[in-house]
Structure 1
Amino acid sequence: MRVVTISATYGTAGGVIGPAVAGRLGVPFLDRAIPSAVAVELGCSLEDALVHDDRAEHGFGRLLAGAMRLPTVSFGGMDMYLPGVMPLPAEDFVAHTERVIRQVARGQGGVILGRAGALVLADHPGALHVRLDAPADRRVIQTATLTGRSEREARKLVEDNDRARAAYVRHFYRVDPASPTLYHLVLDSTSIPVDTCVELIVTASTALS
């Protein structure tokens, strides 16, 4: 089955391109379903799982901020938590996330957004790994246009999410998620139209299969 991983910086329309690619390839799009499945496996709430998720707007960044505010919390340790949230070891969440991703890849296939999919499935036969990225200023403008937020609000969203998503990959996998060597295809979806990005990804996935 077709497997595509998409690493997308904030404001590059990953949440639009991913489902469109999945529809063209006839496979599921995996985004929100991943932390939902992990929450079921771990027996925790979806809210608790999202605290550890790299794609949640207030997810891993909140975890980092909470760890920095609490001197008794060891960042990366087994007792990491936020006030008011049941303890959920970050390593457990990541391990279960990897398990869900591998199950999808081995089974029905799918388009997987974020969660270091290119690293988790680096050796999966036929998997296409894609990076969506662009200069921050263009991503800020695109975010403001698509969400109706002010440019100042959009810039904060872009900067906060960039830090959180990069921190997730750097902390758990010890690599820079922006490194082009991790991907087969790197696209600037603020310059290349979304429909064209979808077409390029579908064509590349077909070529690898």
Structure 2
Amino acid sequence: MRVVTISATYGTAGGRIGPAVAERLDVPFVDRAIPSAVAQELGCTLEEALAHDDRAERGLGRLLFGAMRLPTVAFGGVDMYVPGAMPHAPEEFVRRAERVMRETARTSGGVFLGRAGAVVLAGEPGALHVRLDAPLARRVRATAALAGTDEGEARRVIGDNDRARAAYWRHFYRADPADPRHYHLVVDSTTIPVPACVELIVLASAALG
């Protein structure tokens, strides 16, 4: 079984590279299945689980980033940091997600995109940890071209995503997602074509395994 974690900054094609790597390695691409499993375990809705998920468009990372700028962060009409104000604490969602990731890694292997996988699965034997990153200017151009928007809007979206994901890592793991010490392989996927990035990751996983 192969285990690969991918940390991808916005605009580096993580959503394309992750599934392609999983297909090549013949393992699951583990993404949406995580909040679904967490929701089932906690008996909550998928929407509530996604609100606490790093990979969701409006997930917990965005709320944590907002907390850096606002005195409180409202979710569902209540302050999410007031003890007992929500049925489940954010930490409970994150810890359940970690458990799902570890169990999946050990039973079926998989390619895990986001959710601080390099930290959560750091002790998993044979796991390959990958970072997809690139200079901001190239990520802006790639995002603008893909979304059909102007570069100013692309820069804003990237900035919000970068700060939100960094807030998620700092809050739960006291770590920096850009720290290369978390990874075996760091790839600029705005310069290296996506098929070549997939090939590099597949080769590195085989070598490590």
Partner of 1:190: 190
Partner of 2:109: 109
Q: CA deviation at 1:126?
A: 0.4
Q: CA deviation at 1:57?
A: 1.9
Partner of 2:122: 122
- Moved runs in structure 1, 4+ residues, more than 6 A? none
Alignment CA distance shift 1:114-1:61 (3 Å): closer
Partner of 1:70: 72
For 1:94-173, what aligned pairs fall within 5 Å after superposition?
94-173=94-173
Q: CA deviation at 1:154?
A: 1.4
Q: CA deviation at 1:69?
A: 4.4
> Is contact 2:6-2:114 (8 Å) kept?
yes
Q: CA deviation at 1:157?
A: 1.3
Percent identity of paired positions between Structure 1 and Structure 2? 67
Alignment CA distance shift 1:43-1:6 (3 Å): same
Distance 1:87 1:136 in 2: 39
Q: TM-score, normalised by structure 1?
A: 0.90
- Equivalent residue of 2:4, what SS? strand
Alignment CA distance shift 1:101-1:78 (3 Å): farther
Q: CA deviation at 1:137?
A: 1.5
> Is contact 2:53-2:61 (8 Å) kept?
no
Which piece of structure 1 moves more, 31-40 or 14-23?
Answer: 31-40
Instruction: For residues 119-157 of structure 1, give each alpha carbon's deviation from its aligned partner in whole angstroms, at most 9, with x where no partner exists.
Output: 111111100000001111111111111122222221121
Q: TM-score, normalised by structure 2?
A: 0.90
Instruction: For residues 6-49 of structure 1, give each alpha carbon's deviation from its aligned partner in whole angstroms, at most 9, with x where no partner exists.
Output: 00111100000000000000001011221111111111111111
Which residue type is aligned with residue 25 of structure 2? L
> Is contact 1:166-1:177 (8 Å) kept?
yes
Partner of 1:203: 203
Partner of 1:44: 44
- Equivalent residue of 2:58, what SS? coil
Which piece of structure 1 moves more, 104-113 or 32-41?
Answer: 32-41
- Equivalent residue of 2:6, what SS? strand
Partner of 2:53: 53
Which residue type is aligned with residue 165 of structure 2? R
Distance 1:99 1:61 in 2: 19
Distance 1:171 1:66 in 2: 11
Give aligned pairs, total. 203
- Equivalent residue of 2:16, what SS? helix
Which residue type is aligned with residue 31 of structure 1? D
> Is contact 1:12-1:190 (8 Å) kept?
yes
Which residue type is aligned with residue 178 of structure 1? A
Q: CA deviation at 1:176?
A: 0.7
Q: CA deviation at 1:88?
A: 3.2
Partner of 1:34: 34
Instruction: For residues 51-105 of structure 1, give each alpha carbon's deviation from its aligned partner in whole angstroms, at most 9, with x where no partner exists.
Output: 1111112212442226834289475x755x7xxxx54311001100100100111
Distance 1:193 1:20 in 2: 13
Alignment CA distance shift 1:150-1:55 (3 Å): same
